[in-house]
Structure 1
């Protein structure tokens, strides 16, 4: 098979597209012919050798990537025949291997893909969608809500705008540059603003003191300005800080206003024996019902380095997906 491998930690150029051995499914595992592999900003941090929620691999070379969708083409010992030929999506957990034509994972990680989703959309929902559903556990939204969503053209931001609009909320979506702002407007935001324009806060001034929620994956000056629009009792939910960079940044947190909802906090709220799977199922259910439609930006698998550069430079719209 062909795969993208990392031989040395460092810049995106260290990702190389090459031929390597096919992985074999072990007991309780399946092998998936990959049609789409998700790319996450965390992948870029791990590529550089940073420590994240999952430690950077200590053995190189490695095949990055933890989100795949495709067709089950081989079964390990003990796996029911009914899985053969199924369209599936899976998060591989701490085991990498997604940036490849073939990937192996445990059968219990699989979800069948709803008929109305293609492979790339399914990958978006298993990762980005899962995170979105986790965030929304802390965000009661209704017709009286006024919500600001920085990075509203991103993968999570796109889904948050859609969910908030379905709930009847008034949505102020922020994005960088005219093309992204147009996408946010087309996605249903009541007000779409360019946060690279210093006058964006003034343009949103009619909502000052009426905003009750900021859903923030950006941090930095944009988040600080958005928090300034909050009314009494308003909340700033933090799930990322891309403006500072994943590897060395720190979220903007303001006493009495901010709440960080990533990691154990999010999973603890989901509850159940497998909270990750709970959130994955919620995300796929919302997509199957047509309430959430992920935005996807596709790159050929061989151009994984270009995909990483675009993501790090914030030149992408929606979920970044590699397609073999």
Structure 2
């Protein structure tokens, strides 16, 4: 099979497209003929040798990627034979191997791909979608709420805009550049503002016309995140799940002190990791199942940007330089 391998930590160009032996599923595992593999911003940091959430840098050489969808083409000993030939999607967990034509994973990680959903959309929902479902656990938007979504043209941002609109909220999306703000409007946001323009926050307050936001879903942090927090009213919720404006390797989430929260009359909370899992009852499959169901029902429609598998390095570069919209997916 062909796969993308990393032999040395470093820039995107270190990802190479190679021919490697086909993987063989072990006991309780299945092999998936991959039709779509998800690319996450975290993958770019792991590629440079950061430990990420898995305890240490990957052993090299490695095949990156932890989100796949395709068709089960082989079974390991003890795997349920009913999976053979079915379209499935899975998050591989701590074991990478997704950037490939074939991938193995435990049968207990599989979800059937719902009818009417293609594999690229399924991959978006098993990763980006489950995170979006985890985020809204902490601040469900309601009818009449004003919701601010920075990075609204990204994979998670796209879904949060749709989710808030489905709940009856008024949505202000922030994105970088006219092409991305146009996508945000086409996705259903009530307004989209280009945060690269000087004075964008004044523009936002003018559009709000005296209203204050109830929720800011903050994946960007930094000065942009702080200005977005300034749009919140008393009782508003600042939900933090990233810091893309600071760089995934060198930055950190926007942290508001208890004194600052009290002075503003808001609540700020970081929700990634253990907090999100605990809120879901300790079972990440709850979030995965909900995400896939929302997509199957047509309530959430992930935006996907596809790259050929052999162009994984270009996909990483585009993601790192904010040259993508929606979920980045590799297609063998």
The answer to whether the 8 A contact 1:89-1:122 is kept is yes
- Give 1:245 deviation, angstroms: 1.1
What are the superposed Cα offsets for residues 151-210 of structure 1, whole Å, 9 maximum, x if unpaired? 000000000000000000010000001110000000010111100011321221142551
CA distance in 1, matches of 2:211, 2:146: 10
Residue correspondences, number: 322
The answer to whether the 8 A contact 1:126-1:283 is kept is yes
CA distance in 1, matches of 2:69, 2:9: 26
User: Structure 1 stretches of 5 or more lacking a match?
Assistant: none
User: Structure 2 stretches of 5 or more lacking a match?
Assistant: 262-266
The answer to whether the 8 A contact 1:46-1:55 is kept is no
What pairs with 1:32-71 in structure 2 (closer than 5 Å)?
32-71=32-71
Match of 2:235 in 1: 233
Match of 1:279 in 2: 287
The answer to whether the 8 A contact 1:47-1:56 is kept is no
Q: CA RMSD in A?
A: 1.0
Match of 1:19 in 2: 19
Q: Which of 264, 268, 273 matches 1:258?
A: 268
SS in 2 for 1:222: helix
The answer to whether the 8 A contact 1:46-1:56 is kept is no
CA distance in 1, matches of 2:178, 2:187: 14
Match of 1:113 in 2: 113
What are the superposed Cα offsets for residues 8-33 of structure 1, whole Å, 9 maximum, x if unpaired? 00000000000001000011110000
Match of 1:312 in 2: 320
CA distance in 2, matches of 1:27, 1:261: 35
Match of 2:2 in 1: 2
The answer to whether the 8 A contact 1:217-1:240 is kept is yes
The answer to whether the 8 A contact 1:209-1:232 is kept is no
CA distance in 2, matches of 1:304, 1:246: 19
The answer to whether the 8 A contact 1:209-1:230 is kept is no
The answer to whether the 8 A contact 1:91-1:127 is kept is yes
The answer to whether the 8 A contact 1:30-1:105 is kept is yes
Once the two structures are overlaid, the 10-residue window that deviates more, 158-167 or 242-251, is: 242-251
SS in 1 for 2:53: coil
- Give 1:141 deviation, angstroms: 1.1
- Give 1:40 deviation, angstroms: 0.3
The answer to whether the 8 A contact 2:46-2:58 is kept is no
SS in 2 for 1:297: strand
SS in 2 for 1:204: helix
Q: Which of 305, 319, 330 matches 1:297?
A: 305
What pairs with 1:162-311 in structure 2 (closer than 5 Å)?
162-206=162-206, 207=208, 210-255=212-257, 256=261, 257-272=267-282, 275-311=283-319
CA distance in 2, matches of 1:58, 1:76: 25
The answer as to 2:83 corresponding to 1:83 is yes
CA distance in 2, matches of 1:128, 1:284: 11
The answer to whether the 8 A contact 1:211-1:231 is kept is yes
CA distance in 2, matches of 1:237, 1:61: 37
- Give 1:55 deviation, angstroms: 3.5
